[in-house]
Amino acid sequence: MEGLTDDKGRGCCATADGFRPEEVEWDMTENAYRVMIAGQWFTVPDGAVIKQANRIGYAIVWYFVDNGALTIRCFLPGSGA
């Protein structure tokens, strides 16, 4: 799954750097994806959603925390979405 990019062409790192659904709950509401991280729901920015086909089946989210602020870098919806 190397080579995944967001809508601006920025790389999302390797699959191993992301978090799987058993670590991060996710769903879709009001035409936007959202993920639960550390007990809090975060809306996935539209530009962070990976539009490429999901060939592994499960969802993955890439995020980082800087000075206490969580930023979602990329989100690959699961094949059931």
Segment 26-66, tens digit of pLDDT: 888 888 999 988 888 999 999 999 888 888 888 888 888 88
Burial 3-30 (b: 16+ CB within 10 A, else e): ebebeeeeebeeeeebeeeeebebeeee
Contact 79, 55 (CB under 8 A): no
Pick from 8, 9, 25: nearest CA to 60: 25
pLDDT for 19 = 67
Contact 75, 58 (CB under 8 A): no
pLDDT for 60 = 86
pLDDT for 24 = 63
Please tell me the pTM assigned to this model.
Answer: 0.75
Q: Where are the domains of the chain?
A: 15-76
pLDDT for 56 = 80
Residue type, position 1, single letter = M
pLDDT for 81 = 47
